[in-house]
């Protein structure tokens, strides 16, 4: 029922008008002077005001002026009721913002017509206003709750969804949080540019969305980072989902006709065990995520308290690492590579070690990721390269003329502009022939940016240097993907070599890899050979070279020279020949 306020000092007019309007179905408030009318309007905010012009004290014009000046009453339709009829009076009222004039004496029809016209107009204005407000609210919500690039929920909405779960299931509800990060997104973003980077994120977001149920929330929480919140905590389910996500994201993305390969890393936290609050869960999922990233990415890991302790350890280690080079704490260890036809040591892989003053020998898996995070990887790698080249040159001069040395390069180095120049300089300083040097790179590093990889590898090979793909099989790439890359050697990862000859599946895979590599004219080295069974199988499948504990662990330089001096190819071949399954 619309509320009408009548302000009129003539009590008779006031009561008859009030009666009239009440019987016409309006709710009526009355005031017998301007001040009371103003107060009533502010207190009750009527839908329409009918007001006399001439009143003692605050007159009708004064009331209108005040109402229009006030936020709460500025839009209330206002009709003057007056015996004054001159045009000038009317204009004065209209100028102040009156909507209509009713001249006394008036008929009921006139009053109702004026009121209804005003109310109808007001309703349409209000409707418009409501629609606009709703649109503005939606815009605001979209800014507040959704990520601009992907249109996925953002961190704020993720928080709300988490609260909903708690409302339904109670606090300390079982939830799973997956933190998913595109590996090396910053670098991808740099090379694709802003728009390309956003496009990629949209595509990634859309793929992720397809993999989860409606009750799950996917949010974009940072540059290249997404989160998935599941309203249950089931380790097996999380495990399966993570695997599916990695496999889906490994499929190429089509960016305006250009094929792009990315990998992702996933950290998983299960609530309430790994945190009762969303913030804690996010933090712990990130700890697990970092753990994966430090190991090269493209995998997933569950959070555990141990990981948090590792972080403290890591900070300490990183501080020490800075001084390790100056304090001469790094060593290069050497592991022989044996030709399976001749039994000769044909190559040697240089593997870095850190002789930590308190912790003893630290393996590269632990400190290379740290060195990559800081800028230490560059000087450290140069040190390994020049040390290894100098050692091998010295051994060659002792008569081992055909010995080749393999040195590992990290992904960071591949993007260094002066890599080629640095390698040339080290070869010149040490006097080693480029032909005696092999550089090892992992497939995931090369696939990150095929174009750049092709040009750098071509440059290195033009110098006469060999290029090997390390850990083949762990980066989810196929040989056909790698075919475009210029390289000489394929190193089959230990995980494929393990148990060959004994178990059917790894045997079949490894045999197929060796065969395919040979059709591509690649030299094949099997890594991590530990048993005679493995060795026998590899020789039967025509693998070219092997490396592994079966022959020797990586050794310090002087011990390696001793190994070389005592090594007998015939004895090695004899062992295989004598092997009976």
**What is the C-alpha to C-alpha distance for residues 284 and 272, in angstroms, rounded to an integer?**
12
- Of 83-91, 105-113, 274-282, 433-441: span binding Mg ion (CB under 5 A): 433-441
Of 99, 286, 443, 470, which one interacts with Mg ion (CB under 5 A)?
Answer: 470
Residue 77 to residues 12, 81, 115, 468, 568: CA-CA distances in angstroms?
A: 24, 13, 9, 84, 107
From the list ligand C2E, Mg ion, none, partner contacted by residue 77 (C-beta under 5 to 8 A by kind)? none
- Of 193-201, 218-226, 320-328, 468-476: span binding Mg ion (CB under 5 A): 468-476
* Tokens representing residue 145 in the block: 């709750």
Q: Are 292 and 301 in contact (CB under 8 A)?
A: yes
CB of residue 244 vs ligand C2E: minimum separation in angstroms?
28
Q: Is 312 buried (19+), middle (13-18) or exposed (0-12) by CB count in 10 A?
A: exposed
CB of residue 349 vs Mg ion: minimum separation in angstroms?
6
CB of residue 161 vs ligand C2E: minimum separation in angstroms?
40
Query: The tokens 């753990």 sit on which residue?
Result: 291
CB of residue 406 vs Mg ion: minimum separation in angstroms?
7
From the list ligand C2E, Mg ion, none, partner contacted by residue 391 (C-beta under 5 to 8 A by kind)? none
Site for Mg ion in 502-541 (CB under 5 A): 527
CB of residue 381 vs Mg ion: minimum separation in angstroms?
13
* Tokens representing residue 229 in the block: 């919140």
CB of residue 297 vs ligand C2E: minimum separation in angstroms?
14
Which residue's CB is nearer to Mg ion, number 293 or number 489?
A: 489
The residues pairing with 546 across neighbouring beta strands, listed in sequence order, are 338, 526
- DSSP-derived letter for residue 98 is -
From the list ligand C2E, Mg ion, none, partner contacted by residue 351 (C-beta under 5 to 8 A by kind)? ligand C2E
Site for Mg ion in 77-136 (CB under 5 A): none
**What is the C-alpha to C-alpha distance for residues 208 and 210, in angstroms, rounded to an integer?**
5
Strand ranges for 155-207 from DSSP E? 175-182
Which residue's CB is nearer to Mg ion, number 337 or number 386?
A: 337
CB of residue 408 vs Mg ion: minimum separation in angstroms?
5
Of 9, 440, 443, 536, which one interacts with Mg ion (CB under 5 A)?
Answer: 440
**What is the C-alpha to C-alpha distance for residues 529 and 552, in angstroms, rounded to an integer?**
10
**What is the C-alpha to C-alpha distance for residues 398 and 404, in angstroms, rounded to an integer?**
14
Which residue's CB is nearer to ligand C2E, number 5 or number 441?
A: 441
Instruction: Give the CA count within 13 Å in the CB-facing half-sphere of 553.
Output: 4
From the list Mg ion, ligand C2E, none, partner contacted by residue 364 (C-beta under 5 to 8 A by kind)? ligand C2E
Per-residue contact string for residues 387-426; x = within reach of Mg ion by CB under 5 A: ---------------------x------------------
The angle subtended at Cα 248 by Cα 243 and Cα 250, nearest 5°, is: 95
Q: CA nearest 438: which of 477, 407, 417?
A: 407
Q: CA nearest 534: which of 507, 563, 567?
A: 507
Which residue's CB is nearer to ligand C2E, number 47 or number 470?
A: 470
**What is the C-alpha to C-alpha distance for residues 162 and 160, in angstroms, rounded to an integer?**
5
Which residue's CB is nearer to ligand C2E, number 290 or number 547?
A: 547
Which residue's CB is nearer to Mg ion, number 471 or number 545?
A: 471
CB of residue 574 vs ligand C2E: minimum separation in angstroms?
20
Q: Are 395 and 339 in contact (CB under 8 A)?
A: no
CB of residue 387 vs ligand C2E: minimum separation in angstroms?
9
From the list Mg ion, ligand C2E, none, partner contacted by residue 384 (C-beta under 5 to 8 A by kind)? ligand C2E
Which residue's CB is nearer to ligand C2E, number 381 or number 489?
A: 381
From the list Mg ion, ligand C2E, none, partner contacted by residue 40 (C-beta under 5 to 8 A by kind)? none
From the list ligand C2E, Mg ion, none, partner contacted by residue 552 (C-beta under 5 to 8 A by kind)? none
Which residue's CB is nearer to ligand C2E, number 147 or number 183?
A: 183
CB of residue 495 vs Mg ion: minimum separation in angstroms?
10
Which residue's CB is nearer to ligand C2E, number 154 or number 410?
A: 410
Which residue's CB is nearer to ligand C2E, number 269 or number 551?
A: 551
CB of residue 335 vs ligand C2E: minimum separation in angstroms?
6
**What is the C-alpha to C-alpha distance for residues 19 and 28, in angstroms, rounded to an integer?**
8
Q: Are 376 and 407 in contact (CB under 8 A)?
A: no
Which residue's CB is nearer to ligand C2E, number 148 or number 375?
A: 375
Which residue's CB is nearer to Mg ion, number 98 or number 453?
A: 453
How far the first Cα of the chain sits from its last, in Å, is: 98
The angle subtended at Cα 406 by Cα 530 and Cα 469, nearest 5°, is: 80
**What is the C-alpha to C-alpha distance for residues 496 and 490, in angstroms, rounded to an integer?**
13
Residue 43 to residues 36, 132, 313, 452: CA-CA distances in angstroms?
A: 10, 26, 67, 73
- The residues binding ligand C2E (CB under 6 A) are 335, 351-352, 363-365, 368, 381, 384, 408-410, 440, 470-471, 494, 527-530, 547-549, 554
From the list ligand C2E, Mg ion, none, partner contacted by residue 311 (C-beta under 5 to 8 A by kind)? none
**What is the C-alpha to C-alpha distance for residues 256 and 77, in angstroms, rounded to an integer?**
57
CB of residue 347 vs ligand C2E: minimum separation in angstroms?
13
CB of residue 372 vs ligand C2E: minimum separation in angstroms?
8
As a whole number of angstroms, the longest Cα–Cα distance in the chain is: 130
Tell me how crowded residue 87 is: count the other CB atoms within 10 A of its CB: 7
471 binds Mg ion (CB under 5 A): yes
Which residue's CB is nearer to Mg ion, number 293 or number 408?
A: 408
From the list Mg ion, ligand C2E, none, partner contacted by residue 548 (C-beta under 5 to 8 A by kind)? ligand C2E
- DSSP assignments along 460-480, one per residue: HHHTT-EEEEEEETSS---HH
**What is the C-alpha to C-alpha distance for residues 190 and 472, in angstroms, rounded to an integer?**
27
**What is the C-alpha to C-alpha distance for residues 48 and 279, in angstroms, rounded to an integer?**
51
Give the footprint of Mg ion on this chain (CB under 5 A): 408, 440, 470-471, 527
């Amino acid at each position: 029922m619309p509320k009408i306020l009548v302000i009129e000092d003539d009590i008779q007019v006031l009561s008859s008008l009030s009666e009239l309007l009440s019987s016409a179905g309006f709710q009526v408030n009355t005031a017998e002077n301007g001040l009371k009318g103003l107060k009533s309007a502010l207190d009750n905010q009527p839908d329409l005001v009918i007001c006399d012009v001439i009143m003692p004290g605050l007159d009708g014009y004064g009331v209108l002026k005040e109402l229009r000046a006030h936020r709460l009453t500025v839009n209330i339709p206002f009709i003057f009721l007056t015996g004054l009829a001159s045009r000038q009076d009317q204009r004065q009222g209209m100028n102040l913002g009156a909507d209509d004039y009713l001249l006394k004496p008036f008929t009921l029809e006139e009053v109702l017509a004026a009121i209804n016209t005003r109310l109808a107009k007001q309703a349409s204005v209000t409707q418009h206003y409501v629609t606009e407000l709703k649109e503005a609210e939606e815009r605001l919500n979209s800014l507040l709750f959704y990520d601009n690039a992907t249109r996925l929920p953002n961190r704020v909405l993720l928080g709300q969804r988490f609260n909903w779960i708690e409302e339904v299931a109670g606090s300390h509800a079982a939830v799973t949080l997956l933190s998913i990060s595109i590996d090396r997104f910053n670098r991808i973003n740099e090379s694709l540019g802003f728009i390309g980077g956003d496009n990629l994120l949209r595509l990634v977001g859309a793929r992720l969305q397809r993999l989860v149920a409606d009750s799950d929330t996917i949010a974009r929480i940072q540059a290249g980072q997404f989160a998935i919140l599941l309203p249950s905590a089931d380790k097996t389910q999380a495990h399966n989902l993570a695997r599916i996500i990695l496999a889906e994201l490994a499929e190429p993305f089509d960016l305006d006709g250009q094929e792009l390969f990315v990998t992702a890393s996933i950290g998983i936290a299960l609530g309430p065990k790994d945190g009762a609050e969303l913030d804690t869960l996010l933090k712990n999922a990130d700890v697990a995520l970092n753990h994966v990233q430090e190991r090269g990415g493209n995998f997933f890991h569950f959070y555990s308290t141990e990981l948090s302790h590792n972080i403290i350890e890591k900070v300490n280690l990183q501080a020490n690492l800075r001084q390790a080079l100056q304090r001469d704490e790094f060593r290069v260890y050497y592991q022989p590579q044996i030709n399976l036809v001749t039994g000769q040591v044909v190559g040697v892989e240089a593997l870095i070690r850190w002789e930590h003053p308190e912790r003893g020998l630290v393996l590269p898996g632990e400190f290379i990721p740290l060195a990559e995070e800081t800028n230490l990887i560059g000087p450290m790698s140069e040190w390994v390269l020049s040390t290894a080249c100098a050692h091998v040159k010295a051994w060659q001069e002792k008569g081992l003329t055909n010995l080749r040395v393999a040195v590992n390069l990290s992904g960071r180095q591949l993007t260094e502009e002066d890599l080629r120049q640095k390698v040339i300089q080290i070869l010149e300083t040490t006097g080693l022939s480029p032909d005696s040097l092999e550089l090892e790179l992992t497939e995931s590093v090369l696939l990150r940016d095929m174009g750049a990889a092709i040009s750098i590898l071509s440059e290195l090979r033009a110098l006469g240097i060999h290029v090997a793909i390390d850990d083949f099989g762990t980066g989810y790439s196929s040989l056909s993907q790698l075919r475009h890359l210029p390289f000489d050697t394929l190193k089959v990862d230990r995980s494929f070599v393990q148990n060959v000859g004994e178990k059917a599946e790894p045997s079949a895979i490894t045999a197929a890899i060796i065969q395919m590599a040979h059709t591509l004219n690649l030299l094949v080295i099997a890594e991590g050979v530990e048993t005679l069974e493995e060795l026998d199988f590899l020789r039967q499948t025509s693998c070219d070279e092997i490396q592994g504990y079966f022959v020797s662990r990586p050794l310090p330089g002087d011990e390696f020279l001793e190994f070389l001096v005592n090594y007998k190819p015939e004895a090695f071949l004899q062992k295989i020949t004598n092997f009976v399954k």
